[in-house]
Structure 1
Amino acid sequence: MRMNVDILVMTGFAALVVWVFFSAALYITERNNPDPEMAGFYKTVPDSMWVSLLNLSGESPLCNYSVLGKILTGIIGLFATALFGIPIGILGAGFEEVIEEITEETPDEDDGTNGSNKASDRGFSGSGVDSDPLLASAPPSSTAEALYKFTNGLGSAASLWFEGMIYILICLTVFIGIIQTIKGQEDTLGSVEFVAVVIFTIEYILRFIGSAADPEFSGIGNSFLRRLRFIVSFYSIIDLLAIVPFYLALALPGGWVDAHDEYFRMLRLLRLLKLDKYVPSISLIDDVFRLKRQALTVTCFAAISLWVIFSGILYLTEYQDYQNEIDEVPVYGCDEDCTMADRFANYFASAIYTGIALTGDYPIITYSCWARVTCFVMVIAAVGVVAIPSGLVASGFTEIVQEKNRTDNVERAGAAAGDDWYEFRLVELQNEAPPNSAFGPAVDNLQFKVNAFLNGEVSVVPHTHVNPHTFQCGSRFFRVFMMSLIVSNVIAVLLETVPEIDKYVGNQPGNFFDSFEAVSIFFFTLEYGLRVFSARKNLEALYSPWVYCTTFFGIVDFLSTAPWYVEQILLLSGIAESNDTATIFRVFRIFRILQLEDFLVGFRKIDNVFRASRDVLKATGLMAVIIWVGCGALFFIFEQSNPNFRQCDVSIPLRTKHDTGCYDFESTAACEAYYGDGMCVQSSFSSMPDSLFYVAVFLGGEWGLVDFTWGGRMVCMFLCVIGIALYAIPVGTLFESFGSVIGMDGEEEEDEDEED
Structure 2
Amino acid sequence: MRKHRKALATTGAVAIFVWFLGAHLLFVSEFRNPDLEIHLNYGSLLRSIWASSIFLNGEWVFCDFTWPGKAVGCFVVLFGVSIVVVPMMVFSGEFMKQLLGDFFEHNVEHLKAEEGDLWQLKMEPADDAPTWRKELFSLLYAHLQRLRKGLQQQTQYHRARVLREERPWKFQLFKHVSLVASLIFTVVTLMENSQYMNAEVGCRPRELNRNVVFYYVLSTKSPQECRRFLVWVDMIEARVDTLFLNFFILEFILRCIALGWRHLVSELGLAELFAIVGLIWSLPAQYREDALHNPKTWEKWRLRGILLGAVVPLRLARLVSVGSYFGVVRAVRKVIFIARWPLIKSFYFLVVVWYTHAMLLHFAEMDNPKLAIAGAQVQPAEDPEAIVKRIKPMQQSERFGDYLVAMQYSLLHLTGDYPIVKYTFAAKILLIVGLVVGTCAIVVWTAIFSSSMVNYLANEAVEDPLAKAVERRMLLAIEVVTRIQRSWRRRQAAKKQAIEQGSCRVETQTEGSRRPSRPGDVVTRRWWRDWRAFPWERFFQITLVVNLCVNMLCSLPEVVERPTKGTLTCDELFRQKMQAKFEAVCLIIFSAELVCALRAGKGSEGKRWYFYRTVDFICLLPGLATIVAVMAELYSGGEGPSCGKNAEVSDFLEALDMPLKAMKMIRVLRILFWRQWKDDVQVFIRGVTSTGPILAVPVFMSLQIWVVISSLFVFTENSWTSPSQAFFASVPSSMYWTSSFLIGEWTLADFSPGAGSRVCICTALFGTMGFAIPMGILMEGVKQSMVVDMMERLPLNELAEYEDTEAKKAKRPSQQSIKTEAMRHQADASSSSRMDRRMDRGIDRQQQLRRAAKLAAMTRLQVSKGKGDAHRPPKAGRA
1:591 matched residue in structure 2: 666
Secondary structure of residue in 2 paired with 1:308: helix
Q: What is the CA deviation profile of residues 285-333 of structure 1, one whole-angstrom value per residue up to 9, with x for unaligned ones?
A: 11111232221122211111111111111111111222x322499xxxx
1-structure distance, mates of 2:180, 2:551: 35
Q: Is the 8 A contact 1:147 1:210 kept in 2?
A: no
2:789 aligned with 1:745:
yes
The answer to whether structure 1 residue 315 and structure 2 residue 362 are counterparts is yes
Cα distance between partner residues in 2 of 1:738 and 1:403: 17
Q: Select which of 273, 285, 307 maps to 1:253.
A: 285
**Cα 1:428–1:538 shift into 2, 3 Å:** farther
| Structure 1 equivalent of residue 405 of structure 2 | 349
Q: Which runs of 5+ in 1 are unaligned?
A: 212-216, 218-223, 330-334, 415-419, 434-459, 542-546, 647-667, 669-681
Mapping 1:688-727, distance limit 5 Å: 688-709=731-752, 710-727=754-771
Sort the Cα spacing of 1:724 and 1:576 in 2 relative to 1 into closer, same or farther, 3 A: farther
Shift of 1:481: 4.8
Change (3 A) 1:487 1:378: same
The answer (yes or no) to whether the contact 1:358–1:382 under 8 Å persists in 2 is yes
Distance 1:690 1:272 in 2: 19
Change in Cα spacing, 1:233 to 1:344, as seen in structure 2 (3 Å) is: closer
User: Which residue matches 1:29?
Assistant: 29
CA distance in 2, matches of 1:34, 1:57: 26
Would the aligned equivalents of 1:317 and 1:371 in 2 still touch at CA under 8 Å? yes
* TM-aligned CA distance change 1:607 to 1:386, over 3 Å: closer
RMSD: 4.8
Residue 3 of structure 2 aligns with an amino acid whose one-letter code is M
Listed as ranges, the gaps of 5+ residues in structure 2 are 145-164, 199-229, 294-308, 376-390, 484-514, 564-569, 633-647, 799-859, 865-879
Matched, 1:289 2:336: yes
1:141, distance to aligned residue in structure 2 (A): 5.6
Secondary structure of 1:406's match?
A: coil
Aligned CA distance change for structure 1 residues 271 and 99 (closer, same or farther; 3 Å): same
Matches for 1:17-416 after TM superposition, within 5 Å: 17-101=17-101, 103=103, 112-113=110-111, 115-120=113-118, 124=122, 137-140=129-132, 144=136, 148=140, 163-164=175-176, 167-186=179-198, 187=230, 190=234, 193-194=237-238, 196-197=240-241, 200-201=244-245, 203-204=247-248, 207=251, 211=255, 224=257, 226=259, 234-235=267-268, 237-243=270-276, 245-250=278-283, 252-254=284-286, 256=287, 259-262=290-293, 263=309, 264-322=311-369, 324-327=370-373, 338-406=394-462
Amino acid at match of 1:116: E
What is the rounded CA distance, in whole Å, between the counterparts of 2:523 and 2:34 in structure 1? Answer: 69
Name the CA shift for 1:141/1:7 in 2 (closer, same or farther; >3 Å): closer
User: Residue 403 of structure 1: CA displacement?
Assistant: 0.7
Specify the alignment match of 1:332 in structure 2: none
TM norm structure 1 = 0.72
* Per-residue CA distance 1:326-384 (angstroms, 9 max, x = gap): 2499xxxxx98842111101211221111111111122211111111111211233311
The letter for the 2-side match of 1:296 is L
Cα drift, residue 614 of structure 1: 1.6
Q: Identity, % of aligned pairs?
A: 20
Q: Which residue identity does 1:592 align to in structure 2? A: R
Pairing of 1:609-688 with structure 2 (within 5 A):
609-640=687-718, 645=723, 682=726, 684-688=727-731
Assess if the C-alpha contact under 8 Å between 2:138 and 2:171 holds in 1: no
- Kept in 1, the 8 Å contact 2:548–2:668? The answer is yes
Query: Cα offset for 1:21?
Result: 2.3
Task: Judge conservation of contact 1:640–1:687 (CA < 8 Å) in 2.
Answer: no
Q: For 1:694 and 1:279, how far apart are their aligned partners in 2? A: 27
Are residues 352 and 205 of structure 1, via their aligned partners in 2, closer, same or farther at CA, if it must alter by over 3 Å? closer
Report the alpha carbon displacement of residue 399 of structure 1 after superposing the two structures with TM. Answer: 0.6
8 Å CA contact retained: 1:496, 1:502: no
Corresponding residue SS for 1:260: helix
* CA contact 2:412–2:418 (8 Å) conserved in 1: yes
Q: CA deviation at 1:395?
A: 0.7
- The equivalent of 1:452 in structure 2 is none
Which range is displaced more, 347-356 or 167-176? Answer: 167-176
Tell me if the contact between 2:524 and 2:596 (Cα under 8 Å) persists in the aligned partners. no
Structure 1 residues 522-561: aligned runs within 5 Å: 540-541=606-607, 560=619
Indicate how the Cα distance of structure 1 residues 172 and 227 shifts in structure 2: closer, same or farther if over 3 A, else same: same
Deviation at 1:392, TM superposition (A): 0.7
d(CA) in 1 for partners of 2:539 and 2:319? 47
Correspondence for 2:301: none
What is the SS of the residue equivalent to 2:285? coil
Q: Provide the C-alpha distance between the structure 2 equivalents of 1:641 and 1:345, rounded to a whole number of angstroms.
A: 23
Match of 2:202? none
Shift of 1:616: 3.2
Q: Which residue of 1 aligns with 2:652?
A: 578
1:447 is aligned to none
1:442 match: none
2-side partners of 1:700 and 1:103: how far apart? 28
Residue 732 of structure 1 corresponds to 776
C-alpha distance in structure 1 between counterparts of 2:697 and 2:650, whole Å: 42
Shift of 1:753: 12
Q: 1:501 to 1:745 in 2, by over 3 A?
A: farther
Distance 1:195 1:462 in 2: 67
Is residue 147–residue 206 contact of structure 1 (8 Å, CA) maintained in 2? Answer: no
Cα drift, residue 494 of structure 1: 3.6
Considering Cα pairs closer than 8 Å and 6+ residues apart, tell me whether 1 or 2 has the greater RCO.
2
Listed one character per residue, the Cα deviations across residues 543-565 of structure 1 (whole Å, up to 9, x for unaligned) are xxxx876x7x6775676467889
Asked if 1 retains the 8 angstrom alpha-carbon contact of 2:56 and 2:76, the reply is yes
Distance 1:326 1:470 in 2: 68
**Is the Cα–Cα contact under 8 Å of residues 374 and 420 in structure 2 kept in the other structure?**
no
Give the structure-2-normalised TM-score.
0.63
Quote the Cα distance in structure 2 between the aligned partners of 1:125 and 1:160.
Answer: 21
Question: Per-residue CA shift, 1:117-162, capped at 9, x if unaligned?
Answer: 2224588567xx98xxxx9843326874786599999757787577
Q: Tell me the SS of whatever aligns to 1:315.
A: helix
Q: What is aligned with 1:450?
A: none
Q: 1:181 touches 1:687 (CA, 8 Å); kept in 2?
A: yes
Residue pair 2:123, 2:259 contacting (<8 A) in 1 also: no
- For 1:721, the aligned partner's letter is L
- 1:705-734 per-residue CA deviation (whole Å, 9 max, x = no partner) reads 211113222222122213222212222222
1:604 matched to 2:682? yes
